[in-house]
Structure 1
Amino acid sequence: MCGRFTQRYTWTELHALLDLIGSPRNLRPRHNIAPTTSIDVVRAGEAGRELVSMRWGLIPAWWKKSAKEVPSTFNARAETVAEKPMFRDAFKRRRCIIPASGFYEWTGGKKDRQPHLFTAADGTPVLAFAGLWNRWRDPVAAEEVLTCTMIVSGASAWMEAYHDRMPVLLSPQDFAGWLDGSLGTEALHPAPANALREWPVSKRMNATGVGDDDASLLDPLNSP
């Protein structure tokens, strides 16, 4: 699965890849994003593709309990996303793209977990993850909340050395078809082996709290 990732790009870089509408913004770089926090999401709006902030962890519109009682929905499996009650309505009606600069996976045992960072092999600043989004009304706060999930497929042969799942990477030629729903589950396949590069990083990023979200987290382990 994918439980941590990074968003550290500029508006210009996002706009160049995704052809966004709206005025340029100063985007805060984030290096250690965890589920249930707010993330950048691109969806199709009436006037074009728009950048919106959403809670990472999808909550279906029919959910009547609190957000804390939702099971883990920050990832949706490509093989079942069209049928699972949590995701099937969003798969039919509310697609999105989650921009990222990279993502993390771990190797080793529970007491010695080594994080690895994965980024575009060619140095491209933005990866485009396939996602879904939804609107949910918080029954306690009586407020509308926008939520999203990241779709993960089985791992490529190269990725299997690190994890058995990986985020689905969309190519630019697939953006329109994914967002308008004309592409189906056939688009949800592992990325080619040459699409990504990897290096181990500090175990400091295993935590989520003060001092665990700075650019040095991305440095290769034992780098000068």
Structure 2
Amino acid sequence: MCGRFTQSYTWAEVERFLSVIGPARNLRPRYNIAPTTPIDVLRLGGAGRELVSMRWGLVPSWWKKSLSELPATFNARAETLAEKPMFRSALKSRRCIIPASGFYEWTGKPGAKTPHYFSARDGRPLAFAGLWECWRDPETQEPMESATIVVGPANEWMRPFHDRMPVILDWCDAGAWMAGERLGELLCHPPENALHEWIVSSRVNRSGVGDDDPALIEPSRAA
């Protein structure tokens, strides 16, 4: 699946690959993003593409209970998007791109797992297919926007590390995904030879104060 990832890119890269509207702004690099924390999300707004902050972990608009009772929704399986009540409405009308500079997966046995970092071979940001929703807290009536990363079966290169992977789109297909075009095609063809990988520090196993710095994605000396 995809339970941790990174977002570290410049505004120039955002403008080049995301073609967003609005003035340039500072972007805080993040190297250990965990579920329920804020993430950058690219969506189609009324005037064009916009980069906004959302909770990572989709909350459907009809959810009436507390967030603590919500099941894990930071990933959504590509094969069942149209069937699952959690995601089917968002698939129809609220698709987005979640830009990423890389993501983590683990191999090995419980208690001795090895973290691996994956990023694009060409150094460009990755375009994860995503879905977003707007939910209103039933107690405070405060609105909150949230998103999920769509994941599918791993391609042949990824299978030694995990049997699932994020649905990674070519940037030229980002607009088609957000517009709802060729959805089946985009979901079913994971790219081959698009990623490279290396082992990183086990510090990434934690998420919190002091565990979100560039050293997390450097090759581990113990590797």
Aligned match of 1:26: 26
Separation in 2, partners of 1:98, 1:140: 29
Aligned match of 1:58: 58
Is the Cα–Cα contact under 8 Å of residues 43 and 50 in structure 1 kept in the other structure? Answer: yes
- CA shift, 1:190, in A, is 4.9
- State the 4+ residue runs in structure 1 displaced beyond 2 angstroms: 189-193
- CA shift, 1:85, in A, is 0.5
Separation in 1, partners of 2:49, 2:121: 26
- Spell out the pairing of 1:67-146 with structure 2 (5 A cutoff): 67-124=67-124, 126-146=125-145
SS at match of 2:22: coil
Separation in 2, partners of 1:184, 1:27: 30
Unaligned runs of 5+ in 1: none
Aligned match of 1:35: 35
Is the Cα–Cα contact under 8 Å of residues 98 and 150 in structure 1 kept in the other structure? Answer: yes
Separation in 1, partners of 2:109, 2:210: 24
Q: Which amino acid aligns with 1:216?
A: A
Separation in 2, partners of 1:193, 1:46: 35
Is the Cα–Cα contact under 8 Å of residues 78 and 185 in structure 1 kept in the other structure? Answer: no
SS at match of 2:97: strand
1:158-204 deviations in whole A, cap 9, x for unaligned? 10000000001111221121111122222113532310000000001
Unaligned runs of 5+ in 2: none
Aligned match of 1:213: 212
Aligned length: 223
Is the Cα–Cα contact under 8 Å of residues 168 and 191 in structure 2 kept in the other structure? Answer: no
- CA shift, 1:208, in A, is 1.1
Aligned match of 1:199: 198
1:79-112 deviations in whole A, cap 9, x for unaligned? 0011110000000010000000000000011110
- CA shift, 1:142, in A, is 1.6
Separation in 2, partners of 1:148, 1:123: 25
- CA shift, 1:136, in A, is 0.2
* CA RMSD after TM alignment: 1.3
Separation in 2, partners of 1:11, 1:118: 22
| Structure 1 range deviating more: 32-41 or 169-178 | 169-178
SS at match of 2:193: helix
Is the Cα–Cα contact under 8 Å of residues 92 and 181 in structure 1 kept in the other structure? Answer: yes
**Aligned residues with identical type, % of pairs:** 61
Is the Cα–Cα contact under 8 Å of residues 153 and 190 in structure 1 kept in the other structure? Answer: no
